[in-house]
Structure 1
């Protein structure tokens, strides 16, 4: 597939300018103040706060959104829009099984709601139910063929199924349909395209896309992480460290600290790496039993850095009981391999590869474990 060229129009945020979510929050709060008994205003506030959580990676916005929904549901119990946003928040908090249960209930009530199918697709993807996710995404496209949410979900599934070119085309189609003032949405899509271009080995194009995402939405945590991966692949470990440190300062979550620690180690900055890994382990273990956790990173920390494969397998078994997506299957298979459980490691890795995934790290693990997928070299 030829590299994709995008005509980009300079509409990034100016310093101090409110983001789209911040503007929506301000508007919704004004509406709530004018008429506090109007459920639509509380719902709009909750959705805007959820969007701000994605913009910033600050999960406290989910708590604020839940408070807005509580008011909405008190005013009008079981109102449909509020319950849709509830499912969205459950996904944001990684309570995927609960989100699926609620989205399924909503789908029974309204079989033609595009957002509900998006919720179903997201929950199924995270749990590893890929055929059901594909069915939900297809319904989104059937109902609204030009729907950006439908296109981006279909693109993610194309990637998981190994069709990187198809995923790029769908992401481009989504990007072209976004309004010019949707800076965060546009930056998110560009970041996904940068990721896909890197998987295809087109580092220059990936770098341009990630850079444009950061111009559209400065300090965007997703784009910082993607650009760091690109710099690492270019043999620029210290640039990768700087980007990941900036990302961690913006979004101080354990999984982000793990990536920073690994980058420090790759850059030969061993003392800093050890300190960061120690801080990561403490933070990750504190949330190990929570739904929103860094268990996959904790598994790889114990297998690849701490020399504790037994603990890696214990954590992996905890996580695989919750979800069987390809990334959790990969972590589980790797922990099994490091514990010399070769047959079971091959079986779990084969299950991941059967989906079609072409993630470079998963393929690297597969080759070490001894599982190959025809057509991938």
Structure 2
């Protein structure tokens, strides 16, 4: 009798716990589904522009339309796309990608095969470094719309990030045949760079810049990439010219300021580099800019400032990594970036942990293999670095950082074997 009573009590307890969990889940689901995402204030010069004024007006109008009619697919998709662009401009991907995904999924609930909503979903997955999911989504869309240049662009991006470079080239060729524009030219440029053709990459990126309206964020982003190509080939004068034009066309543009900072570092003018990086950091939220600033602090013999900033970067990246690993819908994978951040503070165990996490997601990507090889080099495990280095070099990339690291790894490995 006692056993039966205990069994009943235990069963009731289990049912109660399950009921609590279900209620909590439903509450969270309702909260997520009923959330309204509004524009956040911009930082720096971007908050003073006519573009920002127009963006606020458009967002407010779209939110009013959705509030009046929750089934307004066109407004849902438009708002999602507006938030994607706002994420690019501000660097606040954590907020805007989540917002954009919410509205894109709302549209997909109303029409599961909606083309624009599906494309938007793929863009967000790629933005959050969920490259396999983004590529898979884009491929599904392409089956239903095989003549979309934009979708081919997403497939190029997904294939590149997963390390499927031959497939990326085929998709880029099809993309540019369908629509030769800024998006297609810039992807051709990136692929040429990956394969070591810097002259061809510069030529294609010039076409990309010329194809876009001056001052538009996408145009000036392409101009920055052109400047970076000049940097990597040692043509600092042309790089400076591109960053100057970008800053004139888009005042306060963070990535142009970061370009000037890199040029200052190359000239060992660390004080100027710190100023440019600091100015850039006030305009957007971007870990690469903050890492550049921490490097400049170290070069300027200010290790305390560098260490403080590096620890702050790691804390923020870990929040992103946690969201990427726990949120099945959205969350930014930043393990490759975390590997380099931990290298900066000489925590080689953590660096290896995150480098291998990223490697397990995309073992064919050359940048990921470079990161793993470089971590092993810093750990003094030179032979372990070699197979990853071989993969990193498989496309014949001429990236100067990669080639420098390759030389160091190979030299140390030979020396270790001879001893």
Q: What is the TM-score with the length of structure 1 in the denominator?
A: 0.86
Residues 27 and 312 of structure 1: is their aligned pair in 2 closer, same or farther, counting only changes over 3 Å? closer
Which runs of 5 or more structure 1 residues have no equivalent in the other structure? 1-12, 372-377
State the match for 2:176 in structure 1. 141
User: In 2 relative to 1, CA 296–236 (structure 1 residues): closer, same or farther, beyond 3 Å?
Assistant: farther
Q: Is the 8 A contact 2:46 2:283 kept in 1?
A: no
Going from structure 1 to structure 2, the CA distance change for 1:25 and 1:50 (only over 3 Å counts) comes to farther
Is the CA contact 1:56–1:221 (under 8 Å) kept in the aligned structure 2?
Answer: no
Partner of 2:206: 172
**2: CA distance between counterparts of 1:340 and 1:269?**
27
**Could you tell me whether the CA contact under 8 Å between 2:153 and 2:187 is conserved in 1?**
yes
Q: 2 CA distance for matches of 1:113 and 1:256?
A: 34
Equivalents in 1 of 2:76, 2:342: separation in Å? 44
**Which shows bigger deviation, 102-111 or 338-347?**
338-347
DSSP 3-state at the match of 1:370? helix
Instruction: State the alpha-carbon separation in 2 of the partners of residues 79 and 183 from structure 1.
Output: 28
1:191 aligns to what SS in structure 2?
helix
Could you tell me how far 1:22 is from its partner in structure 2? 6.3
Match of 2:308 in 1: 275
Mapped partners of 1:300, 1:77: distance in 2 = 40
Q: CA 1:93 to 1:246, structure 2 compared with 1: closer, same or farther past 3 Å?
A: same
TM-superposed deviation, 1:254 = 4.1
User: Alpha carbon RMSD of aligned pairs, Å?
Assistant: 2.4
Equivalent residue pairs, number: 355
The CA deviation at 1:268 is: 1.2
1:222-281 Cα shifts (integer Å, max 9, x gaps): 222222212211221121112222222333344443322111101111221122222223
**Partner Cα separation in structure 2 for residue 24 and residue 43 of structure 1:** 15
Match of 2:350 in 1: 311
1:197–1:203 Cα contact (<8 Å) kept:
yes
Does the aligned pair in 2 maintain the 1:255–1:294 contact within 8 Å?
no
Cα 1:365/1:71, change in 2 over 3 Å: same
CA 1:337–1:17 in structure 2 vs 1: closer, same or farther (change >3 Å)? closer
Q: Contact 2:182–2:219 at 8 Å: present in 1 too?
A: no
Matched, 1:360 2:360: no
Deviations along 1:173-225, one digit per CA (max 9) or x if unpaired, are: 12212134x52122111101110111111111101111211222222232222
1:191 match: 224
Is the contact made by 1:28 and 1:41 (CA closer than 8 Å) also made in structure 2? no
Cα distance in 2, alignment partners of residues 155 and 262 from structure 1 = 28
Query: What residue is the counterpart of 2:61 in the other structure?
Result: 30
**2:87 pairs with 1:53:** yes
User: How far apart are 1:32 and its partner, in Å?
Assistant: 6.4
Distance 1:271 1:33, change over 3 A: closer
For residues 71-106 of structure 1, what are the alpha-carbon distances to aligned partners after superposition, in whole Å with 9 as ceiling and x for unaligned? 322332321111111101111111111101111111
1:303-342 correspondence to structure 2 within 5 Å: 303=343, 305-324=344-363, 325-342=365-382
Identify which of 72, 80, 83 aligns with 2:115: 80
| SS of residue in 2 equivalent to 1:307 | coil
Q: Aligned ranges for residues 1-377 of structure 1 at < 5 Å?
A: 16-19=48-51, 23=54, 26-27=57-58, 29-30=60-61, 33=64, 36=69, 37-59=71-93, 60-144=95-179, 146-180=180-214, 183-289=216-322, 290=324, 292-303=332-343, 305-324=344-363, 325-370=365-410
Aligned to 1:8: none
Q: Could you say if the C-alpha distance between residues 29 and 134 of structure 1 is closer, same or farther in structure 2, counting changes exceeding 3 Å?
A: farther
Matches of 2:332 and 2:312 in 1, distance apart?
18
In our comparison, the structure showing a higher alpha carbon Rg is 2
Which has the larger helix fraction? Answer: 2
Asked if the contact 1:25/1:45 (under 8 Å) is kept, the reply is no
Measured after TM superposition, the shift of residue 333 of structure 1 is 0.3
Report the Cα offset of residue 366 of structure 1.
Answer: 0.5
